[in-house]
Amino acid sequence: MSFIEEEAPGAIYGIERWGEGRFTVLDNGNIGLITNHEKGEATTDLTSILHSLEERGIASPILLRVANSLKNQIERINNSFRTAINELEYKNDYRGVFPVKVNQQAHVIEKIVEYGSPHHFGLEVGSKPELIIALGQRLSREALLICNGIKDSEFINLALLSNNLGFNTIIVLESTSELDLVLEQSKKLNIRPQLGIRIKLNNRITGNWASSSGDRSAFGLSAPDVLHVIDRLRDEGFLDCLQLQHFHLGSQVPDILDVRRSTAEACRFFVELRKEGAPLSYIDLGGGLGIDYTGEHKSTENSINYTIDEYCWNIVEAVKNTMDDAGETHPTIVTESGRATVAYSSMLLFNILDVTHFDEADDVEVTDDDSRSLRDMRDVENYLTASRLQECLNDVTFYRDEVRRNFGRGEVGLRDLAKAEKLYLNLINRMRKAAETDEWISEDVLTALDSTADIYHANFSLFQSLPDVWAIDQLHPIIPIQRLNETPTRRAILSDITCDSDGKVDRFVLTDGISQSLPVHELSKDEQYYLAVFFVGAYQETLGDLHNLFGDTNVATIEIADSGDFNLIHEVEGDTIAEVLRYVEYDPLALSNNFKAMVEEAVSRKALTLKERKTMMNAFKESLNGYTYFEH
């Protein structure tokens, strides 16, 4: 809770740790984006980018995509694999694919295909709509198009036909029943398919996606099923079509040892399948390459204990060793890194609308005429020291609750209740000061004392823009993007604009670890206060929902030039109210006509003047065509 005075005020946010050189605090206190951070190139003022977008009429909340980050990351993954391959003298290549489900947005996919093309970076699809997306892209012939997921004959049909057009499409068998469909369609179309087989590994990973690995995982074939598929393919004369072996451990694998163990286990299957006569040439290790959201560099849900270089090195080495031991040639290594490809490239920017304080109020005078609970509560002051904080906390909470109960029973009035609430806050605030000591104070007490942190009301919807924060307690770095040269004097949690009590953020990544509140600055009257949530490019966009009918935010894609200036290369306007109403099957025109009829009736009753009618209809239409978020 105590701020370290010697360090720069911005240092508490841990920007260096989780930012890994992507961000810096500029002299003016704004956050700077470092493009091409590995070479330490141009720094651009994020706050001025935001102002300049707002001046163009693109209002907050804004999802800002930085195209350069996407390009960097695609290069990073490909180069790391190629470096490991060269240094370990691995005798084959790497072919990455981007899993479309991680971010299906047209402009993102288009950029991934463009930036990926020099590396023959392909796509992975898990459904028919995603296959259609992939088939609408000009992938190079060298790039793979991998079809996972549960497939019907229509899906299989299209995937098979795409091979004739020059796509390098591989149909991965997820179940034994899929095999029948594939054989049937291939014979009917007289096309030799390129097939893959998804295996289920025994090795289980830790982290949020533990259940998608191991025996009970919903996907992949068990050893007996694998053999069944091999035998069937051999009997039907299709064994030579089996090109790829696939597995996917789950996302955000926290521990590099899991990567190594699973790769080794997958290689054993691979060697055995080749012995069975399958001419496998690709080993596909799925996704799982994680992001260090907290910068802790450890094996926990929101962190990882490895770098991209290590990840690539471990995979290449594990494949090489197993293949060499078995006397097998080296296959092409395929990975399906989604999160690690796109997470860095997007951030959510929003302004703070209002604040609720829980500060110490003016002194509360408790006299002998007051109720016993109130007097007892006042007396806690007499033993309020750091060593007795737990006891004080228990006592004040008990007495406060007693007054609340008495109020409920009609035994005390509103003035007494207000007195108790005020006194409670004062005492909690005094305890918070007492906690700023060298003495050890339990985490529980600190958390309870943090309950007086401010609530900063923020202009975004958690459900629309950060669904994983709500659903799986995902952590993202969140920081103010201005005044970082000023010591933040307040502590806050964030409350979003929905009226759902779950719409809040109360875990934050700081230098000292995970905190229940975020250090923020006092709001100023003349200036908007903006926060940024980083690394939101993976999964968040399509998982988001329309809770309270807050729709898609405005999206701006920028490209930063070598000079540090930026170009707005693409803009998508956020949903209007009329658009979100259509999603839930309203007809905005019909709503407007109903409203107009009511207004007209009021005019006939002489309850509204003609001028009032006009104002009323204009207000309705303006809202209907406006942004779903708070506009200023």
Ligand X SMILES: *Cc1c(COP(=O)(O)O)cnc(C)c1O
- The helix or strand, by DSSP H or E, that contains position 312, with its residue range, turns out to be helix 308-326
CB of 266 to ligand X, least distance (A): 13
What does the alpha-carbon distance between residue 292 and residue 18 come to, in Å, rounded to a whole number? 6
Q: Are 458 and 353 in contact (CB under 8 A)?
A: yes
Closer of 124 and 402 to ligand X (Cβ): 124
User: Which region, judged by CB under 6 A, interacts with ligand X, from 6-14, 247-255, 307-315, 569-577?
Assistant: 247-255
Applying CB under 6 A, which of residues 22, 71, 200, 248 lies at the interface with ligand X?
A: 248
CB of 335 to ligand X, least distance (A): 8
- The helix or strand, by DSSP H or E, that contains position 235, with its residue range, turns out to be helix 223-236
CB of 220 to ligand X, least distance (A): 10
Closer of 304 and 481 to ligand X (Cβ): 304
At 104, give phi and psi (nearest 5°): -90, 0
CB of 246 to ligand X, least distance (A): 7
CB of 239 to ligand X, least distance (A): 24
Closer of 308 and 434 to ligand X (Cβ): 308
Closer of 286 and 480 to ligand X (Cβ): 286
CB of 289 to ligand X, least distance (A): 6
Closer of 102 and 453 to ligand X (Cβ): 102
Applying CB under 6 A, which of residues 61, 116, 287, 551 lies at the interface with ligand X?
A: 287
Closer of 248 and 378 to ligand X (Cβ): 248
Q: By C-alpha distance, which of 77, 169, 158, 177 is closest to 118? A: 77
Residues 293-312 that bind ligand X (CB under 6 A): none
User: Which region, judged by CB under 6 A, interacts with ligand X, from 97-105, 444-452, 457-465, 493-501?
Assistant: 97-105
Which is it for strands 346-356 and 282-284: parallel, antiparallel or unpaired? unpaired
Residues 107-126 that bind ligand X (CB under 6 A): 124, 126
Applying CB under 6 A, which of residues 22, 65, 95, 101 lies at the interface with ligand X?
A: 101
Which residue type is seen at 78? Answer: N
User: Which region, judged by CB under 6 A, interacts with ligand X, from 25-33, 95-103, 525-533, 558-566?
Assistant: 95-103
Closer of 172 and 233 to ligand X (Cβ): 172
CB of 155 to ligand X, least distance (A): 15
CB of 340 to ligand X, least distance (A): 6
What does the alpha-carbon distance between residue 571 and residue 344 come to, in Å, rounded to a whole number? 19
Q: By C-alpha distance, which of 556, 578, 582 is closest to 569? A: 556
Applying CB under 6 A, which of residues 61, 207, 220, 288 lies at the interface with ligand X?
A: 288
Answer yes or no whether residue 289 interacts with ligand X by CB under 6 A. Answer: yes
Contacts of 525 (CB under 8 A, 6+ apart): none
Applying CB under 6 A, which of residues 103, 148, 186, 203 lies at the interface with ligand X?
A: 148
Applying CB under 6 A, which of residues 33, 77, 102, 481 lies at the interface with ligand X?
A: 102
CB of 242 to ligand X, least distance (A): 18
Tokens of 335: 């990975």
CB of 33 to ligand X, least distance (A): 23
Closer of 8 and 150 to ligand X (Cβ): 150
CB of 282 to ligand X, least distance (A): 14
Eight-class DSSP state of 282: E
**Which residue's beta carbon is nearest to the bound ligand X?**
287
Tokens of 587: 């007809």
Dihedral, CA of residue 311, residue 317, residue 320 and residue 323, to nearest 10: -90
Residue 375: Cβ-neighbour burial (10 angstroms; 0-12, 13-18, 19+): middle
Residues 377-436 that bind ligand X (CB under 6 A): none
Which is it for strands 554-560 and 508-510: parallel, antiparallel or unpaired? unpaired
Residues 317-356 that bind ligand X (CB under 6 A): 336-340
- Residue 197's SS3 state is strand
CB of 26 to ligand X, least distance (A): 32
The helix/strand count (H/E) of the chain reads as: 21, 23
Rounded to the nearest 10 degrees, the angle between the axes of helix 308-326 and helix 256-275 is 30
User: E-assigned strands of 228-299?
Assistant: 242-246, 282-284
User: Which region, judged by CB under 6 A, interacts with ligand X, from 86-94, 98-106, 363-371, 460-468?
Assistant: 98-106
x/- track of binding to ligand X for residues 260-279 (CB under 6 A)? --------------------
Contacts of 398 (CB under 8 A, 6+ apart): none
Tokens of 291: 């992001």
In degrees, to the nearest 5, what angle opens at C-alpha 520 toward C-alphas 515 and 522? 150
Q: Are 464 and 544 in contact (CB under 8 A)?
A: yes
**Sign of torsion over alpha carbons 359, 363, 367, 369:** negative
- The helix or strand, by DSSP H or E, that contains position 173, with its residue range, turns out to be strand 168-173
x/- track of binding to ligand X for residues 533-562 (CB under 6 A)? -----x------------------------
* β-strand partners of 509: 514
CB of 149 to ligand X, least distance (A): 8
Binding residues for ligand X, per CB under 6 A? 99, 101-102, 124, 126, 148, 248, 251-252, 286-289, 336-340, 538
